Structure 1
């Protein structure tokens, strides 16, 4: 507690600015999709913001590597972060930048001990729902056979997909849209598993606490019973008449 490494201090101080940049990325990603009639200048500005945010996360990763006591071990144990940083460079798609930013934000958020599991799960649900809706709308709106044309359709589809209900009234028709659907389904199942495991852990901890309390009370009762028996034996011994030799 008294000594904190340079890497730990950097992660603590940079967490909030990076989360603020992630919010800026969300706005920049959403504006051209929601406002389909946005001009070229606005779209270009949003693209610049997206790359700046990705560059900030990439710089953060490089700084953390430089400050890590054992760099090879850091790279080996944080390979997801590395893939998220390299992914947009391989093919400059907006969707890849969105995926990499989600991964990096999630990895940094999990490092914060003050963020409780419930808050993290709720934020993950909202984030996946929002980005899933925007992503599928961006790739399905221009599809000739697509039926996801509005933001409302996209949000409804994302919600039913994440909950694995799948009414079938809206469905992606493009390959990229179906890849998004697979990602949302897997994420929904994973989040449901986290919530279920958290509830089960709470019940188990509660039952164990009750068992410990019950055992403590049982031991106390047994100890009192033994004391009562000993006192009875002493009283009985005192009541016995003393014999003469």
Structure 2
């Protein structure tokens, strides 16, 4: 890990520790701020925190949610997938580009690998060969399945509500 990245992580860890200490909540702070807690352990997921920032800005300005819960879950899952995929592509490119027998030579190759892995297609034309690259791939596969499940579940829930409203006389689906 380069020195600049280590300093950034150090600043984040110190900020987290100070906020936890000042909250007086102990382990409840870890549970309540689970995303920050995970990011301390997995700095690769740091960009995903933008979702929380967006919510805080919307609440601060007194704006009620414009979308249904299902719409927000799908939006956040999509944003998370883009940020996670881009971050994984950068990480794998850095790890794999100079490795012997690699199939990932350019950032475009790593981006293609990340998209096919995150979407659970996994063509196999680009694969990480280093242990660290394979670890990133394993995490990305798990996250891809989770995000895909969140979107599919939210969409199914929205459809069920829409058809339930139609069957109850509340109008056509999607109204």
- Whether contact under 8 Å (2:9, 2:43) holds in the other structure is yes
CA distance in 2, matches of 1:84, 1:153: 26
Q: Residue 172 of structure 1: CA displacement?
A: 1.1
Answer yes or no: is 1:62 the counterpart of 2:8.
Answer: no
Q: Residue 184 of structure 1: CA displacement?
A: 1.1
Equivalenced residue count is: 158
What pairs with 1:144-155 in structure 2 (closer than 5 Å)? 144-155=100-111
SS in 1 for 2:88: helix
Higher relative contact order (CA 8 A, sep 6+): 2
Which residue does 2:28 correspond to in 1? 73
SS in 1 for 2:169: helix
- Whether contact under 8 Å (2:74, 2:150) holds in the other structure is no
Alpha-carbon displacement from aligned partner over 1:33-91 (angstroms, at most 9, x marks no partner): xxxxxxxxxxx6xx42x345434433442343244363342235546634542x4xxxx
Answer yes or no: is 1:202 the counterpart of 2:130.
Answer: no
CA distance in 2, matches of 1:191, 1:68: 31
Answer yes or no: is 1:186 the counterpart of 2:162.
Answer: no
Q: Residue 193 of structure 1: CA displacement?
A: 0.6
More helix by share: 1
Which residue does 1:222 correspond to in 2? none
Give the alignment's TM-score, normalised by structure 1.
Answer: 0.54
What pairs with 1:28-43 in structure 2 (closer than 5 Å)? none
Distance change (3 Å), C-alpha of 1:190 and 1:110: farther
Unaligned runs of 5+ in 2: 59-64, 66-71, 171-175
CA distance in 2, matches of 1:68, 1:149: 47
Which residue does 2:61 correspond to in 1? none
Distance change (3 Å), C-alpha of 1:109 and 1:197: farther
CA distance in 2, matches of 1:136, 1:195: 25
SS in 1 for 2:80: helix
SS in 2 for 1:213: coil
Distance change (3 Å), C-alpha of 1:133 and 1:76: closer
Q: Residue 140 of structure 1: CA displacement?
A: 0.9
Which residue does 1:118 correspond to in 2? 74
> Which structure has the larger Rg?
1
Q: Residue 175 of structure 1: CA displacement?
A: 1.0
Answer yes or no: is 1:162 the counterpart of 2:112.
Answer: no
Q: Residue 165 of structure 1: CA displacement?
A: 1.2
Which residue does 2:44 correspond to in 1? 98
Q: Residue 202 of structure 1: CA displacement?
A: 0.6
Q: Residue 155 of structure 1: CA displacement?
A: 0.7
CA distance in 1, matches of 2:142, 2:54: 19
